[in-house]
A and B are shown apart, each in its own frame.
Chain A
Amino acid sequence: MRAELRKLLGLPTAWVGLVLGLIAAPALVLVNAPGMRRAIDSGQTADLGYENLGIGLLGALILGVVTVSSEYTSTGDDAPGAHQMTATLLAMPRRSHLLVAKGAALVLVVAVQGALTASATVWLTRVVLPEHAPPFAPGRMAAAVLYWVLLALLAYAVTLIFRNGVITLTVFIINSSVVSVSYLLTKLTPWAAYLPDIVGAHMFLRSDLIDLRISPVTAGLVMTMWVVALLAVAAYLFHRRPA
């Protein structure tokens, strides 16, 4: 696992994810101050600060994708079929051990990043809007961090299935920032609220994102089940496929 941490943190793209994840949410507090004042005027203060945490998940997604996609990037024009995964499997031929070590390194990095970002964002909200910010709630923050960790693992599993970071990253980023396909689906069927990216947000947001209300614990469990299921598929394929 030490090797996997070193490997992940040695990648420039991983640092893009780290920095983006760290600064995006706190920065949004400052940029979005007018929006938050409008929310205050309309009396919706329950999620003040916390809703900005959503943007920081981009960092977690990038980290989850990069930890796998970097393994499958071609190492050079002279050997287009060659990639780092060969070296990785030669060093750690037990595939299940490798997947656990990679996942653990990812969880550690995202959890530390999430804890720092969540604290900074909530603290900044209190500085910018002292009289309206919701009280400091460690439980909600922990839930937000857990949401990030689960999303990172989700990206990790999906990238492992497709063995290509571009597909995963495109789908996740478009879905989380431009047009939320999952959100649109909730308009068609309430069951779409249980899609992993939507249900997870219920873990730390209190206002109703959509008409359906899901308790934080249920949300956490449902999202965990998604992650476990996708990880199981990814691990199965990883064992079966030639490197």
Chain B
Amino acid sequence: MISIDRVSRPGILHEVSFDARPGRVTGFLGRNGAGKTSTVRILLGLDRAAGGTALINHQPYASWPRPLTVVGALLDGSGAHRARPARAHLRWLAASNGLSRARVDEVLEVVGLAGAGGKRAGRFSLGMSRRLGLAAALLGDPAVLVLDEPFNGLDPAGVRWMREFLRRCADEGRTVLLSSHLLDFPVDDVVVIDGGRVVARGTLGEVTGEHDSLEQAFLSLTGASSW
């Protein structure tokens, strides 16, 4: 469960509020620069908000002693130092949160990198980097997943794999929040942000409303249709 309540940052976010619930994929949609990444970084304790609260299971991210077991996050890049092999990267992450080493090979298997564990992260293709980032997010088997633009850099097969994977996570009862400027994935709930303000939120049906599609609704909500 993710609860964002009136989160503000001068010039970037204005009283952003929404929830993401267990068992559902929540799409956090907006154009580039709308405030998606800022919101996600505040939620994960990487940046500070000037006001408001961003909680995960009723607590701020930084108050969890072993956060990787609660929240899995995928941000820009793989997060691994280029000179470090993928497996070594995941092993220090596992050690930092008291997770078993066996878990490292399990997540490499899940994201399809079982054969590339010994390869240095700097030699990974863009798609492989994303998979390594996802492996890190899954390490602690968290009930909440937060993914910032997870489809960036994936080839069509990768996009399809990611879509199905996230759907499965939600079906298992996890909370899945993913931000994207693309609309081509199945979501249960939608939050639309524009210019740092939430302009619509609700179930897919509620936000689509009278429009033919989510895309139509999005374009009219964000004023991007004038393009």
A residues within 8 Å of B by Cβ?
2-4, 6-7, 10-13, 70, 73-76, 78-79, 81-84, 86-87, 89-94, 242-243
**Contact mask B31-55 → A, CB, 8 Å, 1/0?**
0000000000100111110000000
- Interface residues in B50-84 (C-beta closer than 8 Å to A): 61-62, 64, 67-68, 73, 75-84
Q: Does B176 belong to the interface (CB within 8 Å)?
A: no
**Which residues in B have their C-beta under 8 angstroms from that of A74?**
82
- How many A-B residue pairs have C-beta atoms within 8 angstroms? Tell me: 98
Q: Which of A13, A78, A94 contacts B129 (CB 8 A)?
A: A78
Q: How far is the CA of A239 from the CA of B136 in the complex (A)?
A: 24
**Which residues in A have their C-beta under 8 angstroms from that of B44?**
90, 93
Closest to A6 in B: B92
B residues within 8 Å of A by Cβ?
41, 44-48, 61-62, 64, 67-68, 73, 75-84, 88-89, 91-93, 95-97, 121-122, 124, 126, 129, 136, 153
A-B complex: 5 closest residue pairs judged by Cβ atoms: A82-B77, A87-B79, A3-B96, A79-B77, A93-B62
Q: How far is the CA of A17 from the CA of B81 in the complex (A)?
A: 17
Q: Which of A10, A70, A84, A87 has the most CB of B within 10 A?
A: A87
Q: How far is the CA of A79 from the CA of B122 in the complex (A)?
A: 11
A6, B76: Cβ atoms under 8 Å?
no
A78, B82: Cβ atoms under 8 Å?
no
5 A-B pairs with C-beta separation under 8 A: A75-B79, A82-B77, A90-B46, A91-B97, A242-B46
**Which residues in B have their C-beta under 8 angstroms from that of A94?**
62
Known contacts A11-B83, A91-B67; decide if A76 and B96 are in contact (CB<8 Å).
no
B76, A79: Cβ atoms under 8 Å?
yes
